[in-house]
Chains A and B, each alone.
Chain A
Amino acid sequence: MASGIDELRQQYRKMLEIRRFEEEAARAYAMGKIGGFLHLYIGQEAIAVGVASALVKGDYVFQTYRDHGIAIALGMTANAGMAELFGKDTGCSRGLGGSMHFFDPDNGFYGGWGIVGGHVALAAGAAFKSKYANDGQVTVCFFGEGATNIGGFHEGLSLAGLWKLPIVFICENNQYAMGTPMSRTTPLEDLTLKAQGYGMHGDRFEGHDVTVVKDRVKTAVDRARRGEGPTFIEIQTYRFRGHSMSDPAKYRSRQELEERKKKDPCAVARQRLADAGVKEAELLGIEGEIDDLIAACVKHADEAPPATEEAMWDSVYVPTSAVPADRLPRGVVRVEDGDA
């Protein structure tokens, strides 16, 4: 595990990869190469990278549909991400999931979920598994402040608190539930008050400094790993773009946005590196490498083969032991019991 300035250098690189990835995704969207919904994470990168830095191999992460950032932070390649956005067979979900449904179980990333609040109990389920198996793994569940009003959030937290599951709930409070400010959706300013009712620890801070994010989240992750129960963390942040590509974000002022951009997490990390003596040439070198990486992922996505009908049929069910060979629906594969 890297520490100090080496770690920050790696974190800056990762945050920049996310930033450039999404800027290119926005460009490709405008060109019609990406369809459907595209929810950008630009402005929130310190949270994804800070949280990923606080986890170890084997931990589980669940996210909403604003999922590119954490997927890349956990180790998904830009190629697999961009190809997914382009609807290609080499995408992380073979072009079947798109922007909202990134998955990368090999790196602990369990989606990419599109129904607000729906994945909160799923994450509690992964944590339940860790408690059941006593495997020492921790789950992190992200959601926005908008999700704290829906039933799925409350039932998920209720069970996690009741069973003292090894999970950290991270509320990325980017101030707007789509276009509605928090003051019009929630009678509280401090969202950790909601978690108090479920008997869990709470924490609350601003999320533009990746080091702060990592340190504060790690405290909660360590507590969960020690079997001391879940934590709810409200991280205040801001998305620099609209809710999705179709949103010009007219519900907030130019001035508010400019004010927030002074806390751009990528710029903050860059300044910290410079202050610590990292030379401008080295920073430019990192930035050039990231530019090349992202240009290459766009090229890969452009040239990759399209999503296949085969994948479409094959993925509805995983290989089945219950259905005999002569009754298999299209695309379903038979596996003998125990071979799964």
Chain B
Amino acid sequence: MRELRYREAIREAMIEEMERDANVFLMGEEVGHYQGAYKVSEGLLTRFGEQRVIDTPIAEAGFAGVGIGAAMTGLRPIVEFMTWNFSFVAFDQIISSAAKVAQMSGGRVPCPIVFRGPNGAAKQVASQHSHSVDPFYTNIPGLWIAMPATPRDAKGLLKAAIRENNPVLFLEGETLYNVKGEVLDEDADEVIPFGKARIAREGDGCTIVAWGRPYYTAMEAAEILAKEHGLQCEIVDPRTLRPLDVDAMVDSVKKTNRCVVVHEHWPYGGPGAEIVDQIQRHAFDWLDAPIERVAALDVPMPYASNLETLVLPTVERVVEAVKKVAYL
């Protein structure tokens, strides 16, 4: 075991998979000479050359489409969005092209592509640059959606994504790139399967489902609840939102009888609501309280720091939600 930063784990996954398969290449804005807007692709240009680390113009719809066409005809592109906010101008390519081509061709034309980049709010970048895009894309059959919280999960899931024959949207945490965590040694070649949640903390008092950055918020809240109220929370990180590990969440709720779902996306619909629906249908008789959700407030992200803090899920709000379902 070693400690790596989240960005280093992602970089390692790309390097290992590019070494493994000459059909894998990286394309996006500033990924090469600039070394990556968030330095995720630092050093890749030197290592793999301009044929495989490709700087693009500012044209998301164009290079997303080029990636899809290349994937349909035999390559395995990794397409980086500088942030997922910019994927909206490539929305049609992701939804109408990548997610549809297998179906439209009667299952004959695959699209082995990974779209990746930072997702969610950063620090005071205001409304157009602070989207958590998971609710927009999880609705679409034909796509897989991964949203890793830890460096180890980021590396293992990205390796699985690059080897996968279907399109994968890989949502990294914009504020997680510097987070350190344990990652297996380089020769471990750990590939983490999709659709398998990780039980990050065991407990019998309340299940907290959280992914992406809110996973850390939930972990912090769990410590406070343990210390101040003696309540042990079980934290379930689904890691991928499509496919979604419903079984792991339902099993946990059957043990704890309570559940709080914490997510960065807005409260209307999305995986947050989907998870509540799945749990109430599959574990209704085990629930001792209605499931609570802690979400971003239902407003475009404000610029002012105090308001941004207010909008995003906080440790305090998670603690309050758990206390509510536990009748504390």
Does chain A have a CB within 8 A of B243?
yes
Chain B contacts with A in 186-208, Cβ cutoff 8 A: 191, 193-196
Q: Is A315 a contact of B56 with CB atoms below 8 Å?
A: no
Stretch at the interface among B157-165, B172-180, B219-227: B157-165
Q: How far is the CA of A103 from the CA of B25 in the complex (A)?
A: 26
Does chain A have a CB within 8 A of B302?
no
Q: How far is the CA of A324 from the CA of B101 in the complex (A)?
A: 23
- Among B74, B93, B142, the residue within 8 A (CB) of A118 is B93
Chain B contacts with A in 140-161, Cβ cutoff 8 A: 141-142, 144, 160-161
Q: Is A129 a contact of B70 with CB atoms below 8 Å?
A: yes
B183–chain A nearest beta-carbon distance, Å: 19
Q: Is A122 a contact of B166 with CB atoms below 8 Å?
A: no
Q: Is B164 a contact of A121 with CB atoms below 8 Å?
A: no
Q: Is B160 a contact of A322 with CB atoms below 8 Å?
A: yes
- Among A112, A124, A319, the residue within 8 A (CB) of B65 is A124
Q: Is A155 a contact of B193 with CB atoms below 8 Å?
A: no
Q: Is A133 a contact of B74 with CB atoms below 8 Å?
A: yes
Q: How far is the CA of A175 from the CA of B110 in the complex (A)?
A: 35
Does chain A have a CB within 8 A of B287?
no
Q: Quick one: given A155-B62, A323-B195, are A125 and B68 in contact (CB under 8 Å)?
A: yes
Chain A contacts with B in 95-117, Cβ cutoff 8 A: 95-97, 101, 103, 105, 110-115
Chain A contacts with B in 77-96, Cβ cutoff 8 A: 91-96
- Among B51, B73, B195, the residue within 8 A (CB) of A125 is B73
- Among A113, A158, A317, the residue within 8 A (CB) of B166 is A317
- Among B25, B106, B164, B191, the residue within 8 A (CB) of A91 is B106
Q: Quick one: given A115-B92, A118-B97, A156-B62, are A323 and B194 in contact (CB under 8 Å)?
A: yes
Does chain A have a CB within 8 A of B310?
no
Q: Is A340 a contact of B56 with CB atoms below 8 Å?
A: no
Q: Quick one: given A316-B141, A322-B144, A322-B193, are A121 and B93 in contact (CB under 8 Å)?
A: yes
Chain B contacts with A in 202-250, Cβ cutoff 8 A: 243, 245
Does chain B have a CB within 8 A of A126?
yes
For A227, list chain B residues within 8 Å (CB). none
Q: Is A103 a contact of B243 with CB atoms below 8 Å?
A: no
Q: Is A105 a contact of B65 with CB atoms below 8 Å?
A: no
A67–chain B nearest beta-carbon distance, Å: 11
Q: Mark B67-106, 1 if CB is under 8 A from A, else 0.
A: 1111111110000000000000000110011000111111
Does chain A have a CB within 8 A of B326?
no
Q: Is B161 a contact of A125 with CB atoms below 8 Å?
A: no
Most chain A CB neighbours (cut-off 10 Å) among B63, B71, B161 = B63
Does chain B have a CB within 8 A of A314?
yes
Q: Is A321 a contact of B165 with CB atoms below 8 Å?
A: yes
Q: Is B109 a contact of A103 with CB atoms below 8 Å?
A: yes
Q: How far is the CA of A279 from the CA of B108 in the complex (A)?
A: 43
Q: Quick one: given A121-B62, A121-B64, A327-B196, are A315 and B107 in contact (CB under 8 Å)?
A: yes
B51–chain A nearest beta-carbon distance, Å: 7
Does chain A have a CB within 8 A of B168?
yes
B221–chain A nearest beta-carbon distance, Å: 28
Q: How far is the CA of A151 from the CA of B107 in the complex (A)?
A: 29
Q: Is B69 a contact of A322 with CB atoms below 8 Å?
A: no
Does chain A have a CB within 8 A of B122?
no
Q: Is A125 a contact of B163 with CB atoms below 8 Å?
A: no
Does chain B have a CB within 8 A of A123?
yes
For A128, list chain B residues within 8 Å (CB). 66, 69-70, 75
For B59, list chain A residues within 8 Å (CB). 155, 158-159
Q: Quick one: given A103-B109, A152-B92, A316-B103, are A327 and B65 in contact (CB under 8 Å)?
A: no
Q: Is A315 a contact of B195 with CB atoms below 8 Å?
A: no
For A282, list chain B residues within 8 Å (CB). none
Q: Is B68 a contact of A96 with CB atoms below 8 Å?
A: no
Q: Is A93 a contact of B106 with CB atoms below 8 Å?
A: yes
Q: Is B106 a contact of A110 with CB atoms below 8 Å?
A: no
Does chain B have a CB within 8 A of A68?
no
Q: How far is the CA of A327 from the CA of B245 in the complex (A)?
A: 7
Most chain B CB neighbours (cut-off 10 Å) among A62, A111, A118, A129 = A129
Does chain B have a CB within 8 A of A192?
no
Does chain A have a CB within 8 A of B120?
no
Most chain A CB neighbours (cut-off 10 Å) among B68, B69, B74, B109 = B69
Q: Is B97 a contact of A317 with CB atoms below 8 Å?
A: no
For A320, list chain B residues within 8 Å (CB). 164-166, 194
- Among B63, B164, B195, the residue within 8 A (CB) of A321 is B164
Q: Quick one: given A118-B92, A122-B65, A129-B73, are A96 and B106 in contact (CB under 8 Å)?
A: yes
Q: Is B69 a contact of A112 with CB atoms below 8 Å?
A: no
Does chain A have a CB within 8 A of B271?
no
A129–chain B nearest beta-carbon distance, Å: 4
- Among A96, A125, A329, A338, the residue within 8 A (CB) of B70 is A125
Does chain A have a CB within 8 A of B15?
no
Chain B contacts with A in 102-152, Cβ cutoff 8 A: 102-110, 112, 141-142, 144
B107–chain A nearest beta-carbon distance, Å: 4
B135–chain A nearest beta-carbon distance, Å: 19
Does chain A have a CB within 8 A of B61?
yes
Q: Is A121 a contact of B106 with CB atoms below 8 Å?
A: no
For A151, list chain B residues within 8 Å (CB). 61
Q: How far is the CA of A311 from the CA of B62 in the complex (A)?
A: 31
A18–chain B nearest beta-carbon distance, Å: 21
Beta-carbon nearest neighbor of A93 in chain B: B106
* 7 A-B contacts (beta carbon < 8 Å): A97-B104, A125-B65, A125-B68, A133-B75, A162-B57, A315-B106, A323-B193
Nearest 8 interchain pairs by C-beta: A125-B69, A121-B65, A155-B62, A327-B195, A315-B107, A94-B106, A122-B69, A103-B105
Known: A103-B105, A115-B92. 11 other contacts (CB 8 A): A96-B106, A118-B92, A125-B72, A125-B73, A128-B70, A155-B59, A159-B56, A314-B107, A315-B102, A337-B163, A338-B163
